[in-house]
């Protein structure tokens, strides 16, 4: 228990971000550079393999900021996202986070505290092994801290790519540096990670793709 608590504190410290006044309208204007991927339903990325880009409308603002900071620092290795994040200052990241947290909120229906579909015994064992709910919440839609992502209903193929990226080492172009998540994913085979990703994607959640014109 002490080891888990220490791990959680370390993770929260890693994701800690300064508190800035957030301006949703400025965030909406800044999001014009994001909608070409995140505002197009079914849009796919080909790096590091083909997968749907993540849904970020309805995501926690604090997590969006932490992610952008990680891309800017190179802790998350993705050439396109690093270039975009590297052009943003802390205020612009905060504004983007605030905008996407509320973007499409009117489309969100109340999500029950208990997942609509219970996992199989095998998948439940995998989730329990990693203590996934201890950070992402019992329904995987209400994390214990905004620095952690909502993952219920996220695209399964994206979840799999993201999970696998934490286990990649010594690659200058691919991977994510996070000691906690790296330790977690190393416990699983690719098939097991896929089982978890498929289940998490099947759950009801707040995440959405809010369709927007590229030319608004």
> Over its length of 216 residues, how does the chain's per-residue pLDDT go in tens digits?
434 444 444 444 444 444 678 899 999 999 999 999 999 999 999 999 999 999 999 999 999 999 999 999 999 999 999 999 999 999 999 999 999 999 978 777 665 555 568 999 999 999 999 999 999 998 999 999 999 999 999 999 999 999 999 999 999 899 999 999 999 999 999 999 999 999 999 999 999 999 875 544
Give CA–CA dist 163/160, Å, rounded: 5
- DSSP conformation class of 57: B
The residues with which 52 forms a beta bridge, in sequence order, are 44
Using alpha carbons, list the distances in angstroms from residue 108 to 22, 90, 133.
Answer: 22, 28, 22
pTM: 0.87
Q: Answer yes or no: are the C-beta atoms of 11 and 180 closer than 8 Å.
A: yes
Identify the CA nearest to 112 among candidates 133, 132, 135, 142: 142
Backbone φ, ψ for residue 208 (5° rounding)? -145, 160
Give CA–CA dist 124/126, Å, rounded: 5
What Rg do the C-alpha atoms of the chain give, in angstroms? 17
């Amino acid at each position: 228990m002490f080891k888990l608590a220490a791990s959680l504190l370390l993770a929260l410290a890693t994701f800690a971000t300064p508190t800035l006044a957030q301006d949703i309208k400025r965030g909406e204007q800044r999001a014009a550079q994001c909608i070409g991927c995140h505002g197009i339903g079914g849009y796919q990325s080909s790096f590091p393999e083909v997968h749907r880009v993540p849904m970020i409308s309805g995501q926690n603002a604090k997590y969006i900021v932490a992610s952008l900071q990680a891309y800017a620092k190179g802790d998350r290795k993705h050439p396109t996202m690093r270039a975009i994040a590297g052009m943003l200052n802390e205020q612009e990241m905060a504004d983007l986070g605030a905008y996407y947290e509320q973007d499409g909120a009117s489309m969100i229906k109340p999500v029950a505290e208990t997942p609509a579909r219970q996992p199989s015994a095998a998948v439940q064992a995998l989730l329990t092994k990693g203590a996934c709910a201890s950070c992402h919440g019992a329904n995987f839609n209400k994390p214990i801290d905004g620095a952690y992502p909502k993952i219920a209903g996220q695209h399964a193929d994206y979840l799999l790519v993201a999970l696998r990226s934490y286990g990649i080492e010594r690659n200058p172009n691919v991977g994510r540096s996070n000691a906690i998540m790296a330790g977690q994913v190393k416990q699983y085979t690719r098939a097991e990670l896929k089982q978890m990703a498929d289940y998490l994607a099947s759950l009801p959640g707040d995440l959405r793709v809010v369709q927007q014109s590229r030319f608004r």
